[in-house]
Amino acid sequence: MKEDRKFFYVYQITCDVTNKIYVGAHSTNDMEDGYLGSGTLIRKAIRKYGPEHFHKTILFEGKSWEELLEKEAEIVDTDFVNRNDTYNLREGGSGGTKLILEKELERRRKVAEANRRTKTGVPRSEETKQKISESHIGQVHEGQVKERVRAICAVCGKEFEVRLGKRIKGKCCSRSCTAKLMNITGVANRNK
């Protein structure tokens, strides 16, 4: 139970990379337990940037869990949650992340919209088209022939073209020459 713990405090976690903050309440028997918050967005940020980029500041020390929740509710109000520099998704004082609020739903909607825009034929700027074009330079797509070279048929000695990258040695100029080559080498007789 939380009341059996020795220490009760409200803390602020700050990300050195984004300068975003998270405020929460925590109870523990070890002040150096490494706890950095349980909120959805703060956990994602810690996974993304690594715990070494987050530092904790104790804002308030209390005597009970209820006292902490009251203090957290004073700090993490609607205005705080709606700020762009916070990882908090909902008002403080409820003790945990069980709901996804409007802020998270709005974030998800924006991501979905951005993904939809890139896949549905929304007109691209000339600059974007140029960047895409440059990124494809040198790629050979299925069905495209990069280069052809001249080879000599192994059966009749005629010269013919072969795509670069294909095996050239032992190639034949036609199916009839290939069949003759198979009979000569005994490949066709193996299947009988």
Query: Does position 145 have pLDDT exceeding 70, yes or no?
Result: no
Tokens (6 digits) for 79 = 């205005």
Q: For residue 123, what are its two tokens? A: 């007109």
Listed residue (51, 64, 52, 79) closest to 10, CA to CA: 64
pLDDT top residue among 41 and 145:
41
Please state the pTM of the whole predicted model. 0.49
Domains and CATH numbers, the chain: 2-105 (3.40.1440.10), 148-190 (no CATH)
**What's the whole-number mean pLDDT along residues 80-84?**
87
* Average pLDDT over the chain, rounded to an integer: 78
Higher pLDDT, 164 or 135: 135
pLDDT at 101: 53
- One-letter amino acid of 189: N
Q: Do residues 39 and 104 touch, judged by C-beta distance below 8 A? A: no
Q: What is the pLDDT of residues 45-65, one digit of tens each?
A: 999 999 999 999 999 998 888
Q: Cα–Cα distances in Å, from 74 out to 91, 92, 121?
A: 9, 8, 47
pLDDT tens per residue across span 147-166:
677 778 878 888 877 766 55
For residues 103 and 46, the answer to whether their CB atoms sit within 8 Å is: no
139 three-state secondary structure = coil
pLDDT at 65: 82
Give the length of the chain. 192
pLDDT of res. 53: 93
- pLDDT above 70 (res 14): yes
Q: What is the pLDDT of residue 99?
A: 47
CA dihedral 108, 114, 116, 122 (to 10 degrees): 160
Task: Specify whether the CB–CB gap between 76 and 96 falls below 8 A.
Answer: no
17 residue type, one letter? V
Q: Does pLDDT of 20 surpass 90?
A: yes
Phi/psi for 154 (5° steps) reads: -70, -15
Is residue 46 within 8 Å of 22, Cβ to Cβ? no
Nearest 5°: phi and psi at 86?
-125, 155
Confidence at residue 19, expressed as pLDDT on a 0 to 100 scale? 93
The Cβ-side half-sphere exposure at 87, using a 13 Å CA radius, reads 24
Number of Cβ within 10 Å of residue 48's Cβ equals 11
Per-residue pLDDT for 136 more than 90? no
The per-residue pLDDT for 157 is 82
Task: Give the CA diameter of the chain.
Answer: 97
What pLDDT does residue 125 have?
83
State the average pLDDT over residues 163-179. Answer: 70
